[in-house]
Structure 1
Amino acid sequence: MSIWGKIIGGTAGFALGGPLGAILGAAAGHLVDKIKTIASDPRLGGSGTYYSDQTNFTGGQDPRQIAFATGVVILAAKMAKVDGHVSRDEIDAFKRVFHIPPSEVKNVGRVFDMAKASPEGFEPYAQQIAMMFRGERALLEGILEALYQIAMADGELHPAEKDYLKKVAHIFGFADMDFDRVHQAHTSSNRPDPYQQLGLTRDASDEELKAAHRKLSRENHPDALMAKGMPPEFIAQANDKMARINAAWDQISKERGIR
């Protein structure tokens, strides 16, 4: 079963807990108040139990995969509100990035609509994701990258969308330079700056560049990301990022004659 079939399961909302679980529970027909009572995170202002490990899940559901996929859907829905409309291109990009099978489009759309209609801001959802993936920068950046692909589907980034994405990045713990790197990769009409893509400046030494490339390659390898919680449906996106990292290294190593 794809991740999209799992997240609409009857127990997914209760098992995940927190704001993300409340939306899933509502989409599955549960009472939102009951979910918030038993599953809200005290660190987000609630008073119930926060489920943060796989032992609380039933039916073989992977909480990190569900959190990753649900987080992207909900944050995409909240992003759709900032410029006042959802374009056809954005909808098509949503389906393409997420690899949603026709049989699950309606259910995923229900989660999207629930999140879009919710009066709550995006912050509690982004905060829960940041806590579940604390220390996993590559996974958090993967969520940000997916949101960028959706925002850029119509060929431009609305200023309000950029502001929204920057706020999400800050909640995820990214500094401005980290956000700028992702922003440049998705919006630059020219080839992204290779040094920036490796998280360094042009005065970095060859050894520093080699180490950065090895670290990024290890952290962003699709197999490593899947093992840490990225759903298989997002692996094409992970491959694109690896291609950018390797292209940046190839350009730098050729310019410097690094072997």
Structure 2
Amino acid sequence: MSFWRKIAGLAARNLDEAECDVCPPGLPGEDPAFSTAVTALGAKLAKADGEAQTGEWLAFSEVFHADEGSEGNVRRLYQLARQTTRGFEGYARRLQKRYHACPQLLEDVVDGLFHIAGADGVVTGDELAYLQRVSELFGQSPLVFRRLKATHLGAEAGDPYAVLGARHDASDADLRAAWRAMLSEAHPDRARARGLPAEFVEVAEAKAAAINAAFDAAMRERRALSLQGAA
């Protein structure tokens, strides 16, 4: 019996089944608590912008697959959960409690939710706030959420990580290595050594300045986030 069939009974009784605080053995797809919470989070996301669209159900089906014999039961649960966004935080907390030892799995869930949010071609402010809150409840750092957001929506203008070509949640050491590598490649002395005209040297100087400014901005932001976390 697939896990999608198992959740049919949960829909009729109680949607809140994730109570264990130990990451259960086996595949998440075999865990009815996981499938119930994910279905509810996807459905309630569809309602976050005020109206649940058919395209969002189709996007959910693309990300979280159900076998043919279980699709009706999954859709029933989805329709029930999407009536309101109320209760989504409870599902996110229970999923984090159950799978806190599996951070990549929780990241995959947020990744899938981003896909659903963009099903109609735009991610609204309300949907983005929903996604950010789920990410917070999953215990993900702001930099992890920023990376996921950039993956789906593109980097924001002036994003220092885009300038440095680094992941938003790269370690400090990796970020510094990326900065040094880019700075070495763009350093004006390289242009001078190649005998390039003054115009090219000026371009290299501007690029090096932008790389340094991006690194400084990223490190300032990290220090600010660290202080917020310690407060």
What TM-score, normalized by structure 2, do the two folds share?
Answer: 0.62
Partner of 1:7: 7
Higher CA-based Rg: 2
Question: Number of paired residues?
Answer: 173
Partner of 1:252: none
CA distance in 2, matches of 1:75, 1:153: 15
Partner of 2:92: 126
> What secondary structure, in the 3-state scheme, does the structure 1 residue paired with 2:130 have?
helix
Runs of 4+ in 1 over 6 A off after TM superposition: 60-64
**Partner amino acid, structure 2, of 1:96:** E
Structure 2 CA distance for partners of 1:52 and 1:188, relative to 1, 3 Å: same
What is the CA deviation profile of residues 128-158 of structure 1, one whole-angstrom value per residue up to 9, with x for unaligned ones?
0111111321011011011111111122101
The residue correspondences of 1:27-46 to structure 2 (distance < 5 A) are 27=11, 29-30=12-13, 32=14
Contact 1:126–1:168 under 8 Å retained in 2: yes
Unaligned 5+ segments in structure 2 are 182-231
The residue correspondences of 1:75-224 to structure 2 (distance < 5 A) are 75-117=41-83, 120-188=86-154, 193=162, 194-196=165-167, 199-200=170-171, 203-205=175-177
Structure 2 CA distance for partners of 1:62 and 1:198, relative to 1, 3 Å: closer
Identity %: 31
Structure 2 CA distance for partners of 1:106 and 1:136, relative to 1, 3 Å: same
Tell me how large the CA RMSD over aligned residues is.
3.4
Contact 1:72–1:147 under 8 Å retained in 2: no
**Partner amino acid, structure 1, of 2:108:** G
CA distance in 1, matches of 2:54, 2:24: 36
Structure 2 CA distance for partners of 1:63 and 1:53, relative to 1, 3 Å: farther
Structure 2 CA distance for partners of 1:137 and 1:81, relative to 1, 3 Å: same
Contact 2:40–2:81 under 8 Å retained in 1: yes
